[in-house]
Amino acid sequence: MRNSRIIGAGMFVPPKVVTNDDLSKLMDTSDEWIVERSGIKERRYAEDGVGVSDLAVEASKKALAQAGLEPKDIDLIIFATLSPDYYFPGSGVLLQHKLGCRDIAAIDIRQQCSGFIYGLSIADQYIKTGQSERVLVVGAEIHSCGLDFSTRGRDVTVLFGDGAGVVILAPGEAGKGILSTHLHSDGGHFDKLWTPAPMACRHPRLSHEILDQGLHYPIMDGKFIFKMAIGKFAEIVEDALRANGYTLEDLDLFIPHQANLRISNMVGKKLGLPDEKVFNNIQKYGNTTAGSIPIAISEALEQGKIKEGSLVCLASFGSGLTWASALIRW
Ligand code: ACO
């Protein structure tokens, strides 16, 4: 069976920079608290009226240019986001149209922080089975218009930012490309990190009462997520290496979902990885959820941290709960 490999990557973040000091003018928080607890110094916010599909168009253009392809060459779009432009339809179809692709399949998936690795895994299967030749995998998020900017929401709001990352997958030679993917979920803890409203199981889905209670804003049990994340991140990196007969010493770069710098540092230490093998850019962008790993891939390639032949492990943990990893030989 043939393998799939990444032949192009691109990222786009909105130009508007929002610093911790900017947030401290809106709510009771401080640069010191945010940096100490999360490592985040600033994040990007999209302008009003810009949707995730718009960010994805810009990131896709860069990935296509890097791969030497045009929109008509893509035969499948997989779009991971928890913040689609509209309640329905999904953002995949909007990207298909805005980018000028043929009338190809567009699949939206909702696995939050693990969305990109889930998407990569789906794309990998389509290529392995010969169903697709060029797959665009998107992770994109616009959090800024869905956050509570009062002190009530400060624990969540300071962590998140907007951005998009895209990779293009194509068939590759054996022993190279995506070696394996490992996907998990546990819906038993769905309410440890979630946005309760609008609720599709209630009539009406949205009301003044719901808005007054702030149920349309994300709610997180930060301590629970923190502890679970450290254990699960380490577990899935080891699973991915073991499945392919490698050890941590073989790994050239670990790209964790950019949830929190403290989480990434603690996972790196737990695994015994030197700091230079753990990729971090959360300081500049905050947590861009599905966007964080493809944005990191783009930057790691640009910075020469991923080279031909590098062994790279991607890992994520987040809302769902979902957690996932992918091992890639570049
Ligand atoms: N600014 C200032 N003070 C704050 C803020 C803020 N933005 N947010 C919370 N506080 C206060 C709390 O109200 C609390 O005050 P109190 O002691 O008077 O009650 C105090 O700071 C400590 O709050 P804790 O919740 O105990 O702080 P903690 O050390 O747990 O840090 C944090 C909170 C950063 C959210 C942490 O729990 C965390 O990182 N959790 C992981 C969550 C995460 O990374 N989520 C990302 C999404 S999921 C994912 O991507 C994996």
- Is 287 catalytic? The answer is yes
Q: Which of 234, 129, 320 is nearest to 121 (CA)?
A: 129
State the distance from the centre of ligand 1 to the C-alpha of 222, rounded, in angstroms: 6
Instruction: State the Cα angle at 5 between 103 and 176, rounded to 5°.
Output: 160
Rounded to whole angstroms, how far apart are CA atoms 212 and 217?
11
15-18 long-range contacts, CB within 8 A, separation 24+:
15/44, 16/44, 16/45, 16/46, 16/47, 17/42, 17/43, 17/44, 18/42, 18/43, 18/44, 18/45, 18/144, 18/161
Residue whose Cα lies nearest atom 46 of ligand 1: it is: 259
Q: What is the reported pLDDT for 84?
A: 97
Could you tell me if the CB of 327 is within 6 A of ligand 1? no
Question: What is the per-residue pLDDT for 175?
Answer: 87
Provide the pLDDT for residue 202: 86
pLDDT confidence of residue 298: 98
Give residues with Cβ within 8 angstroms of 30, minimum separation 6.
Answer: 20, 24
- The one catalytic residue in 20, 101, 113, 143 is 113
Q: Which pLDDT value is given to residue 200? A: 84
Letter for the amino acid at 96?
Q
Instruction: State the pTM of this model.
Output: 0.96
Q: Mean pLDDT by 10-residue block, N- to C-terminus, for the chain (330 residues)? A: 94 98 97 97 98 98 98 98 96 98 98 98 97 98 97 96 98 93 97 93 92 95 95 96 97 97 95 96 98 98 97 97 98
Identify which of 37, 113, 149, 151 to mutate to test ligand 1's pocket (most ligand atoms within 8 A of the CB).
Answer: 37
259 ligand 1 Cβ < 6 A: yes
265 is catalytic: no
**CA pair distance 161, 143, nearest whole angstrom:** 6
Pairing of strands 322-329, 177-185: antiparallel
The closest-lying atom of ligand 1 relative to the alpha carbon of residue 23 is 7
